[in-house]
Every structure is written in structure tokens, then in C-alpha cells.
Copies of this chain bind each other. A is one copy, B any other.
């Protein structure tokens, strides 16, 4: 009994060392592995007293079932997999992490974890396949949807549940998704600007292959079309969602002959750069030029904190993360059936960056 302290002793004392396994535990208790397992997993055919003894022993030993073994035996692992788009030089993305925070918040409540596979944006299909085949995840989740996204077919062929954040333009919407109504958001925003008398519009958008970018542009175009206006392609930019790109794009657009008076931005991050360009050009935001940005409710970048607070279309990316986790976990646990497809409306919040169009 002397020697290594904290080790199992003959009288069935607990040990502090980490790895007790089922077998050892059941031996200590003089029970079979079956019974212990059942006691732990809440099966009814275990005597109340026995169960309590087991639970007590678990507490004392600090026993934790080995997840890999559990996974192997059940096929469930309590984890959801996602692909983290990255590559050397690929900028870290605040949008992604805001979303991740939401996922985490919900996963925490259910003792789930994620398996993050970093992947080159060009090999997401492969990364997903690997993740699914690894047998390490119960469900998959994808985002940054593209038009005609090739990942959808792949996911549908797998037998593992999945959920899409966003949609894939040009693909039959026969998959479970959670998306915001991007088209309506930008339609409404454009409409507001039209009502303020603006006629010349610019759009600082995300990469054109991304679904949300396509839909937002469509929203703008549709609203303009109702007034017989069109969107000048020279006033549209499709770039990565960074402030620098916003700056460059805006600088370029401000040099055009027929300078637009109304700017739509796909993110407050782009707006950050755009506003800088506007300031540098000595233009007054909300007077000389109006701007509406889409606000993902990023922790770091609050539209109300801009020198001139920004008018925005708002939808919390973090809340979307929470919801995605909720649905995915629910599905794995086979709790409820959720609506397959959700489309969230955005809010249009008017602040100081929008004003009546300047006189010609």
C-alpha cells in the first residue's frame, strides 16, 4: 500500500491517475462490464442501488469512457465536423470565428465538441470526405457556399447528417440549410436609398462565386430595375471581405466620372475600408455619400461605433452558429425534427450614414 500514492488499492479505493477503464471499474465493483455500462447510460434494467454504487465509483475514480472506443462501438461520437478554410497566407476571417463562437456556445451545453479539419479552400470536397470517412464525426457542416456548390452532391451521397449554412445558387434546394434572406436584405437597403433620392449606386461585394454575393447583387439589381435603373458594372467590386480590399475598391470607385452617391457593402469589414477611402477623399458620409453595410454583428466591428454610425442590414452570425449547432446536435441525438430549411429575415437599421441624395 506504500509506494506510488494515488494508485488503486486492494480495498477498491479510488485512484487519482487518469485512465481507469470499464473493465477495471467493473472489477472493482464486482460487476460485469455490461451492467456498469448500462448503469451509466441510463438503461432501465439496472437496480437502483447498483446504479448508485456505480455512479459513486465513477465519481471517485474519475472514470471517463474512452470516446474512441465509444465511437467505434456505437457509431456516435458526440462531435460535429467542419472544415476550416485556410492556407498559408489565407487571412484569418472574423466572420468565420464569429460563427464558430456561436457553434461553441451551443455545443458547450450538450457536451459536444468539434473536429476542425483545416483545408485548402480548393480541396474542401476532399477534406470533407476524409472527415466523414474518418468516422470521427457524427455530422458535418459546411459554409461559404458557392453557386453550384460541388460539396452538396458529395454530402448527399454520404450517410451522415449535414447542415448547410447558406445556400447554393443554381442548385435545387433539396438539402437542409439555414440561411439569411440576402436578396431581400439588399433589396430593402437599395430601396431605402432610392427613396432618399439616390440614383447612382455602387456595390462592394464578396467574391462573386459565393452564394450570398450572388443573391445580394440580385437584390440590388431587382430594386433598381423597379425604378428603371441598372447597376453600373464599373461600380461593382467582388473581393475578399477585408478592410483593405474595401479601401482599394472604394478608392477606385470614387475616381469614376459619374461618382455613385450610394454605396452598399457586403460586410462592415469592407465598410471599414470604404469609409476610410471616403474620409480620405474628404467626402462627408451621410451627406455627400450614403452607405449601407451588412452587419454580421461582429464583436470587433460595431456599426454604431464608426465615427459616422452606419446604417446596416443586420443578422447575427453568432446566432446562426448557435442555431446550426442546435439543429445538428438535435438531429444526432434524434431529439426533434427541425424544419429542414430556414430563411432568416434581416433587420434594416437606419443610422447616420444614410441621407438624402446630394443635389446634382
A252 within 8 A of B: no
Within 95-137 of A, Cβ neighbours of B (below 8 Å) are at: 96-98, 100-101, 103-105, 107-108, 111, 113-120, 129-136
Q: Does A158 contact B (CB under 8 A)?
A: yes
Q: Cβ of B318 and Cβ of A305 under 8 Å apart?
A: no
**A15-48 contact mask (Cβ, 8 Å, vs B): 1 or 0:** 0101100000000000000000000000000000
Which residues of chain B come closer than 8 Å to A86, judged between CB atoms? 101, 104-105, 108
CB distance from A301 to the nearest CB of B (A): 7
A88 contacts the other chain (CB 8 A): yes
- For A307, what are the chain B residues with a Cβ–Cβ distance below 8 Å? 276, 279
User: How far apart are A219's CB and chain B's nearest CB, in angstroms?
Assistant: 26
Tell me which of B68, B104, B136 contacts A116 (CB under 8 A): B104
Residues in B neighbouring A104, C-beta threshold 8 A: 84, 86, 116, 118
Complex Cα distance, B119 from A129, in Å, reads: 28
Choose, from A69-77, A175-183, A199-207, A256-264, the stretch at the interface: A69-77
> What are 12 A-B contacts defined by CB distance under 8 Å?
A16-B157, A18-B132, A67-B134, A67-B135, A68-B71, A68-B136, A69-B72, A86-B104, A87-B105, A90-B101, A243-B300, A243-B305
